[in-house]
Amino acid sequence: MKNKLTAARRTLLAAPLAAAQTQVGKVVEKRNASNAQAGLYASIAAFWEPHDREMLRSLGMKRGTRVLDLGCGRGDHLLLFAEMLGGGPAVTGFDLRRDSLDFAAARLKERGWPGRAVLRQGDLYRLPFAAGSFDLVWSSHVFHGLPDVVKAADAVHSVLSAGGRFALRENRVTATLLPPDIGVGETGLETRLNEAFDRWLQRDRATRGRYPHGWLHLLREAGFSQVTARSFLHQVTAPFNAAQREYLHYWLERKQEIEGIKPTDRDLVRRITDRDSEQYFLRRDDLHYVSVSTIYSGTKT
Ligand X SMILES: C[S@@+](CC[C@H](N)C(=O)[O-])C[C@H]1O[C@@H](n2cnc3c(N)ncnc32)[C@H](O)[C@@H]1O
Residues making contact with ligand X (CB under 6 A) = 15, 17-19, 21-22, 71-73, 76-77, 95-97, 100, 123-124, 140-142
Quote the least distance from Cβ 147 to ligand X, whole Å.
9
Which residue is closest to ligand X by CB?
Answer: 73
How far, in Å, CA of 116 to CA of 87, rounded?
6
Residue 240 is classified by DSSP as: P
Omega of the bond leading into 239 within 30 degrees of 0 (cis): yes
DSSP three-state, residue 277? coil
Of residues 96 and 233, the one with the C-beta less far from ligand X: 96
Strands across the sheet containing 224-237: 117-121, 91-95, 67-70, 134-140, 160-176, 288-300, 224-237
DSSP three-state, residue 99? helix
Quote the least distance from Cβ 126 to ligand X, whole Å.
9
Quote the least distance from Cβ 295 to ligand X, whole Å.
12
Of residues 119 and 219, the one with the C-beta less far from ligand X: 119
Phi, psi of 135 (to 5 degrees): -100, -20
Quote the least distance from Cβ 108 to ligand X, whole Å.
15
Nearest Cα to 160, choosing from 168, 169, 149?
A: 168
Of residues 172 and 271, the one with the C-beta less far from ligand X: 172
Of residues 90 and 101, the one with the C-beta less far from ligand X: 101
Of residues 22 and 273, the one with the C-beta less far from ligand X: 22
Which residues sit opposite 300 in a β-bridge?
224
Quote the least distance from Cβ 122 to ligand X, whole Å.
7
Of residues 90 and 104, the one with the C-beta less far from ligand X: 104
Residue 56 is classified by DSSP as: H
How far, in Å, CA of 175 to CA of 289, rounded?
7
Nearest Cα to 56, choosing from 19, 84, 33?
A: 84
How far, in Å, CA of 122 to CA of 70, rounded?
10
Quote the least distance from Cβ 11 to ligand X, whole Å.
7
Quote the least distance from Cβ 232 to ligand X, whole Å.
13
DSSP three-state, residue 91? strand
Of residues 128 and 214, the one with the C-beta less far from ligand X: 128
